[in-house]
Amino acid sequence: MRAVKRAAGPGVRSGKGGFTLLEVVVALVIFAVGVLAIIELFSGSLRLSEGARDVSAAQLYASQRMEEALLAPDPVPGVESGAFGEKYRWEMRTTQEPTEEESPYREMRIQVIIRWDDGPQERSVDLTARRWERRQSG
């Protein structure tokens, strides 16, 4: 018996191995989409990390200003403001809350607001405390 050799026609692979150009292009497109998705995940993670860092720093600055205000010997009602470096701005509002006349204490409300710019929007952290002091006899 003699072996019959068939001619390779369209759709029939010859004995040579390898990929067609279309298969290579499709594989590269799938690979590129996967790489872009991974890069986007990393950049999103970095943005979230930076935002969390900003909020943590603002909370720390607010706590610092609040501690200073609560330790002040005689708080005066009014508004103070300043900055922590170039990024963070603070504002402290001290108000005397109305209390009953017969109460031996007066209530002071202290509010510290830390603001910073996060791209096109302004973000802020707000911290409020109350302080009671014995009224001065007079």
The 10s digit of each residue's pLDDT in 37-71 is 999 988 888 877 888 899 999 999 999 999 999 99
Place of tokens 């708080």: 75
Task: Return the structure tokens found at 100.
Answer: 């009953």
The CA radius of gyration of the chain, in Å to the nearest whole number, is: 34
Q: What is the pLDDT of residues 73-91, one digit of tens each?
A: 888 899 999 999 899 999 9
Place of tokens 């969390």: 52
Contact between 70 and 110 (Cβ < 8 Å): yes
Question: Rounded to an integer, what distance in angstroms lies between the CA atom of residue 10 and that of residue 4?
Answer: 19
